[in-house]
Structure 1
Amino acid sequence: MGQVEFELACAAVKELKGPVSDGEKLLVYSYYKQATLGDCNIPAPPATDVKAKAKWEAWTKNKGMTKMDAMRIYVTKVEELKKKEEG
């Protein structure tokens, strides 16, 4: 598992057509951010910005995770979503 698999998963996630829950979207987002940028490096948004706050919290939960581990989990989660879509 490496950069190539991660990049393929990044492309595949954009092609998903089936229903993806908000929770699944947040999970995929959080691992993508951790894999590409590392630990969350932005201040928490105001509680009134519900969407931004949810994204920030999801990413922050991955604090301390290596970029490689985040890539692996991201690829695995995208594969699960693809299988779910296929039925």
Structure 2
Amino acid sequence: MQVEFESACAAIKQLKRPVSDQDKLLIYSYYKQATQGDCNIATPPDSDAKAKAKWEAWNQNKGMSKMDAMRIYIDKVEELKKNEAG
């Protein structure tokens, strides 16, 4: 699973088409859950919309195992690669 996850991490950087902000948040949230576990940072201030959105996305995965997060991350990257391929 770790090898597939690392491969997906590399593949996401190779995508040619832009990824929607929603997909970026999803990918970020599962990456953080897979690599660090539950969100362990303080809630950012409302004035920092980008940081707040990232924090909320990651925090939604609270309680999810690192393996499940890796699996979902890999599936999402595969989906984006398929969409790019047409």
Flag whether TM exceeds 0.5 (same fold): yes
Structure 1 residue 19, shift from structure 2 partner: 2.1
The residue correspondences of 1:5-44 to structure 2 (distance < 5 A) are 5-44=4-43
TM-fit CA distance, 1:17: 1.2
Alpha-carbon distance in 2 for matches of 1:13, 1:20: 9
TM-score normalized by structure 1? Answer: 0.97
Identity of aligned residues (%): 76
SS at match of 1:19: coil
Q: d(CA) in 1 for partners of 2:6 and 2:66?
A: 13
Runs of 5+ unmatched residues, structure 2: none
Query: Could you list the runs of 5+ residues in structure 1 that have no partner in the other structure?
Result: none
- Residues of 2 paired with 1:19 and 1:84: CA distance? 11
Could you tell me which amino acid in structure 1 is paired with residue 49 of structure 2?
A: V
| Structure 2 match to 1:83 | 82
Count of matched residue positions in the alignment of Structure 1 and Structure 2 = 86
- 1:43 alignment partner, SS class: coil
1:35 maps to amino acid: A
Distance 2:35 2:13 in 1: 17
Letter in 2 for 1:43: A
Q: Which amino acid letter does the alignment assign opposite residue 67 of structure 1?
A: K
RMSD, aligned α-carbons: 0.4
Compute the TM-score of the two structures, normalised by the length of structure 2.
Answer: 0.99
